[in-house]
Amino acid sequence: MATAIVLLGLCLLAVTFCYIGRCLISPWGTCTRCRPGGKNRTCRACNGTGMRPRLGWQLFVYFRRLHSGGTR
Ligand SMILES: [Zn+2]
């Protein structure tokens, strides 16, 4: 049982690191709202660019801002 928990934890860690790496390599993902039709100039989610920052990247920027604001 303990082995299963350790394996599960390792899998979660691996997935998390893969996601963080992906966010660092390409912080901009494609917009899911206007994806089928490509770029949509009236799309509010991406302002018509067709690109949106990933959730992980948004969190990273948020915490970086918090940090820089707290250590000023
Ligand atoms: Zn869009």
For 11-25, how does the pLDDT look when each residue is reduced to its tens digit (9 = 90+)? 999 999 888 888 778
Nearest to 39 by CA among 30, 49, 29: 49
pLDDT for 37 beyond 80: no
pLDDT digits (tens, 9 = 90+) for 1-10: 889 999 999 9
Residues near ligand 1 ion, CB 5 Å cutoff: 31, 33-34, 43, 45-46
Nearest to 28 by CA among 47, 50, 43, 45: 50
- pLDDT for position 64: 92
pLDDT for 39 beyond 70: no
The alpha carbon of 27 and the centre of ligand 1 are apart by a number of angstroms equal to: 16
Nearest to 28 by CA among 47, 14, 2: 47
Nearest to 34 by CA among 19, 50, 23: 50
- pLDDT for position 1: 84
The alpha carbon of 51 and the centre of ligand 1 are apart by a number of angstroms equal to: 7
- Is this model's pTM higher than 0.85 or not? no
Domain boundaries, the chain: 2-70
Which residues, listed in sequence order, are joined to residue 29 by a DSSP beta bridge?
Answer: 52
pLDDT for 38 beyond 80: no
